[in-house]
Amino acid sequence: MSAEYTEESIKSLDWKEHIRLRPGMYIGKLGDGSASDDGIYILLKESLDNSIDEYMMGNGKKIEIHITEHTVTIRDFGRGIPLGKLLDVSSKINTGGKYDTGAFKKSVGLNGVGLKAVNALSEQFTIKSFRDNEVKSIEFERGVVVEDKPIEKSDETNGVYIKFRPDADIFSTFSYKLGYVEEMIRNYTYLNAGLPIYLNGTRFISKNGLLDLLMENLDAEPLYKPIHLQGEDIEIALTHERRYGEMYFSFVNGQNTVQGGTHLNTFREIFVRTIREFFNKNFDAADIRQSVIAAVSIKVEEPVFESQTKTKLGSRDMGPQGPSINKFISDFIKERLDNYLHKNPETADIIYKKILASERERKAMSGVQKKAREMAKKASLHNKKLRDCRVHYNSKHDLRNETSIFITEGDSASGSITKSRNANTQAVFSLRGKPLNTYGLTKKVVYENEEFNLLQAALNIEEGIESLRYKRVIIATDADVDGMHIRLLIITFFLNFFPDLIKKGHVFILQTPLFRVRNKKETVYCYSDEERLAAINKLNPQPEITRFKGLGEISPDEFVHFIDKDIRLEPVKINKDQLSVDKMLDYYMGKNTPDRQEFIIENLRIEEDVVVER
């Protein structure tokens, strides 16, 4: 029986109540900080965007950020918010200086929402504005004013100070991972050459803009010196690598549009057209773009994004009075890239040879690909390796933030996960034994090897990760030597042929408990020896202790606790301060056995066996 629909059913929420009731509309998914697009990082970005906009308008020479596990403070040195409007700017929806295109001509935040979302979703939020030797300070709790201080005298430099702590009632268990914050800050510095940003005292700065971004993200030496093109409201850097796939970084008004949009689509199209016209050859687009790595940044008046989190540009024009984005980028690339290639014939020759090499490999693989696709298509009809989930990403309803696929090995492990999973959003792919070490092999092996061919088909990444069917690709193997080996082989496969999966933060390792400690009243699952000892002390006297040797030993009734809302995932990340991907794979997965043996001997640790009481 349906509930009554009366006048009492109609409710009006104030600004903070709506944000707290529907946080996903404002910051995407909540998360716990283990993924770069979790809500706590969107809160940081929304607070920081205002400081970046100030710098872009020529105000302020540095930004200071301090982050603990749960609290963020930001201090910029721009003009400062007009003191009489500080309360409105921080707590009145659709209020801000970004509506005045004279004050903020090409900023990211245009709707007056971001800072209010930070306020409403924080258990503590403090904002101060320093302006012309005066300061105004207001403190909030969950969007409610708890102290509104009068304007006072101040000798501090103009600018804004913000301090907030995300609300534990909304975000539950969370913590900031500084690696994700550093990546965000690096992107801000690449787009604002010369701006120093300090994170917990460490200085980040870029002198060469997108060229620095490109150089820091190369896996190895590029085929040719990166091409760096700059104009008013546009900057592009690009080169080709010795790798498979394409990789792009795109930005609008300093915002990292990780899902691309009209500007990136236009760049990919016009880049192909310009290369064809330069060489007067109708090359296949895939051969031209194979192995390309590029960064594209444009500045648009009044940009339209497809969501409040601003990850995909929807605008078609550069501004109310400007040209279309397609024409703007097209004119720029056709002129600047064509001129560059004419002035640098050695670079043009390298690009030409690279395209021919990609063309030869593609044609050589065409028969293998056709056979592999047919095999994958037949297998999909009765595929016991993939137990799919019920929902997928499509253009009308983006469910990628909710979907995961577990890659596991063996029938018992995949059986436990399959019985425990949320069949709506979690899929399972079962490997048969240890996969092949693909280091040094060509992409032909992806189609000739049944396991890899079916995995590629399950993920839908043959043409690139834009069509990836799952937000998270989770490697779920036993916590022993064999399980670790399988992890490395899968990661090697991804790094070799689909590196964007890892670089874009889609690959994770599932953390499962090593021990179960319980008595008649309580059960504690432990992920380390330290947690085991703490649980033993907590559950005295003499609790029962079980050591899980493999995923298959964990019953489905227990497994569900480890893959639902309390799931522990370790992101697979590439440390930019270490070896390049090429050198790293060569060292760990190549044929340099003596070097590895020496490394293992020098770093060998002998650990005593854990005595497990039952």
pLDDT at 378: 56
pLDDT at 199: 96
* CA separation, residue 214 to residues 207, 228, 267, 311 (Å): 13, 10, 16, 20
Q: Which domains does the chain have, with CATH numbers?
A: 16-204 (3.30.565.10), 210-361 (3.30.230.10), 383-512+550-602 (3.40.50.670), 515-547 (no CATH)
What is the DSSP annotation of 242-290? SSSS-EEEEEETTEE-TT-BHHHHHHHHHHHHHHHHHHT----HHHHHT
Please identify every stretch of the chain with a pLDDT value under 50, giving residue numbers as ranges: 1, 97-105, 109-111, 381-382, 393-397, 607-614
Cβ contacts of 328 within 8 Å, gap of 6 or more? 233, 234, 298, 318, 322
178 closest CA partner among 342, 383, 351, 41: 41
Question: What would the pLDDT profile of 364-388 be if each residue is shown by its tens digit?
Answer: 777 666 666 666 665 554 456 788 8
| Single-letter amino acid, residue 402 | E
Question: What would the pLDDT profile of 166-199 be if each residue is shown by its tens digit?
Answer: 999 888 788 898 888 998 999 999 989 899 999 9
292 closest CA partner among 219, 349, 196, 233: 219
Which pTM does this prediction carry?
0.73
pLDDT at 397: 45
pLDDT at 282: 94
